[in-house]
Structures are given as structure tokens and as C-alpha cells.
Amino acid sequence: MHKKITSRLFSCSTIIIAGAQRDMKKYKEGGGIRTERKILIVCVAAFIGLVSFAIYTGSIALIANMLFLGMLILVVPYSLFKFFRLKKIRSYENDFPNFLRDISESLRAGLSLIQAIQTTSKSDYGALTKEIKKMNTQLSWNISLDRVLKNFGIRVADSKIITRSLMIIDQANKSGGNIEDTMESLANHIESIKESQQEKSVLLNQQVMMMYAIFFIFLGITIALIKFLIPLLQTQSQTGGFGVQGFNPNPCSLCVNNQDLACVGCNTFATITQAFELGDPKESSSYYKSLFLAMILIQGFFSGLIAGQIGSDSIAVGVKHSLIMLLSGFIVFILLVKTGII
């Protein structure tokens, strides 16, 4: 029996793949993407407004700070939207097997699929309850079951598990047979997938923590280098150390106030120095502080993205880790500079 049900599941999935693509296209043209577009448009407008205002003032420090603030405004709202959307979808997937089993029991009791959905709408399925009640309302308006299932699939299009299950249910209802057995098999299949995902998440969380450890070790090494290496370089430059006559520890000393194309990199570090008041751009300590600050920000951003991809298979979730690393690294570094520790 289970082999027949499994065979039916695969055949139904093959038949309705074209329909799935159409439904996904409708979703992308619908409310989900509309909300994302609105968030992106507002964030981009705010970013352009802040940067334009800073450029108008002509202050290098203000431009750098507005760029940093604008990047946060550009990234944080969209990332939070994707994060909470993903969290809601996962809660849907956790409650969906119980919904399928209750429908299966109602079908075995002699109810039709429409009557089973109407009956289960009175039960509590956590976050999924709202969507089931919406399905029941649409059915009470004499909307066809096929249309109701497709609408539900469009609303939860971010979940491949639920959308594929809905399409299989629709095809099984049209073809006839033991729909209750199909429901039961789907519920067991979804639960096995969720268990596998949880085991994977537990294992990969160790790798995520390792990415955090790598970042903070990197942060500690940069602070140690600034604390101990830079004074050594300055001392050697004054005494002509390292066997080099006229040793200069600041490789950007010749590019101070020089707008030559070859000095673009050094001018960038000088801008960072002025923006965050790290000292005089002519000093070697200021050069290394701006260099290491840029390295910390780059390391934190990309380490967070990798952590999100490893732990959740999502770059959007990785932005959360990136923000934690960026802000923590930036705050720690600036506090140490301002207090004179480095």
C-alpha cells in the first residue's frame, strides 16, 4: 500500500510541476514580492537621501558616517522582513502534519475533503490556524476547492514542503482513491523531513559558532597588532631599525593630500581615519587603525553571510549574523581607540 502511495506522490508531482511554476510566478507578482519591493524602495530612498545630504554638506566625516548608517538602513529592514517571514513559514511547516492527519481522520469518518477542511478549521494549529480559517471562509463563499488550495499555496509559496503537498492533495482529490492514505503518507513524509532538518541544524550550529569564534579571534589579533606592533614600528623608524635607512612604517605617507589615481587606496584609509577620528592621517598609527578597522568590517560581513548559509541555507538569515559581527567588532574597536587602550 505504501509503495502505491509513494508511486502516486511522485507521479502527481511530475504532472503538476508546470502548475507549480505558474503559481510561483503569481506569488512573485502578488503580495509577497510587493511587500519586499516596498521595503526595498523605502530603504533605497532613505539611503540615497542620507548620502546626498552628506555629500551636499561636503564633510568627509559626515559622508562616511552616513554611508555606514545608510548601509544599515538598506540592509536591516529587509533582512528582518525575510527573517520573520522564514520563521513564520517554519511554524506553518511544523503544524501542517497535524492538519493533514486531522483531515485524514475526518475523511475516514465519511466526510468529503471540503467538509473535512471546514471541520478542522475549528481546531488550533498554532500559526497555521489563521490560514486554515481563511480557507474555510473561501469555501463558504462557494469558491472551488482547487482555487482555495492554489490561493493557500500562493500565500505560503516560500515553503516548498507545503506547496508541493497542496498540489499532491489537489491531484489526489481529482483522481480519486484513498485520499486519507495520501494525507497520512504526506504527514509522515513532512515530519521525517523536519526531523532531518533539525538534526542538520544541531550539527551545523557548531560550525556557526566556529565562524563567530574565528571572527572574534581575528578581532583580538588585530587589537594586539595595533597595541604592540605599531609602537615597535614607530620605534624602529626613529632608530633606523630593521637594517633599512630612513625606514617609514606608514606606506601612505606620500599620498597625504595627493589626489593621484595611484593613491585611491591610501585616500580611502585617510577618509576612514577622518570619519571615525582615529588620529592624524599622516601618522602611521592612524593608517594601521583605519586598515584594521576596514578589515574587521569586511571580515564580519562575509563571515556572517557564510554562517547564515551554513546554518540555515539562507543568505538572508546570514545578514543577521553579519550585523551582529559588524556592530560588535565596530563598537569594540572604536571604544578601545577612544579610551586610548590602542
Q: For residue range 32-80, list pLDDT tens digits in order.
A: 556 777 887 888 888 888 888 878 777 666 777 777 788 778 777 877 8
Residue 241 pLDDT grade (very low, low, confident, very high; cuts 50, 70, 90)? low
Quote the pLDDT of residue 10. 41
Distance separating alpha carbons of residues 27 and 184, to the nearest angstrom: 28
**pLDDT above 60: residue 281:** yes
Quote the pLDDT of residue 123. 87
Distance separating alpha carbons of residues 76 and 96, to the nearest angstrom: 30
**Any idea which of 209-213, 243-247, 301-305 has the lowest mean pLDDT?**
243-247
Query: Above pLDDT 90, what percent of the chain?
Result: 8
Distance separating alpha carbons of residues 30 and 24, to the nearest angstrom: 10
Q: What's the CA angle centered on 41, arms 134 and 84, to 5 degrees?
A: 45
**pLDDT above 50: residue 118:** yes
- Answer with the residue of higher pLDDT: 34 or 126: 126
Contact 311, 207 (CB under 8 A): yes
Query: Above pLDDT 70, what percent of the chain?
Result: 85
- Non-local CB neighbours of 198 within 8 Å, separated by 6+ positions: none
Distance separating alpha carbons of residues 281 and 251, to the nearest angstrom: 11
Rounded to the nearest integer, the mean pLDDT of the chain is: 79
Quote the pLDDT of residue 17. 38
Quote the pLDDT of residue 329. 92
**What is the rounded average pLDDT of the residues 249-264?**
74
Residue 282 pLDDT grade (very low, low, confident, very high; cuts 50, 70, 90)? confident
Contact 321, 209 (CB under 8 A): no
Distance separating alpha carbons of residues 223 and 337, to the nearest angstrom: 10
Contact 83, 321 (CB under 8 A): no
Look up residue 104 and give its three cell numbers: 485524514
Render pLDDT for 293-339 as a digit per residue (tens, 0 to 9): 989 999 998 998 888 888 877 777 788 888 889 889 999 999 998 88
Contact 95, 128 (CB under 8 A): yes
How large is the C-alpha radius of gyration of the chain? 29
Quote the pLDDT of residue 332. 92
Q: Is the pTM of this model over 0.75?
A: no
Quote the pLDDT of residue 198. 80
**pLDDT above 90: residue 243:** no
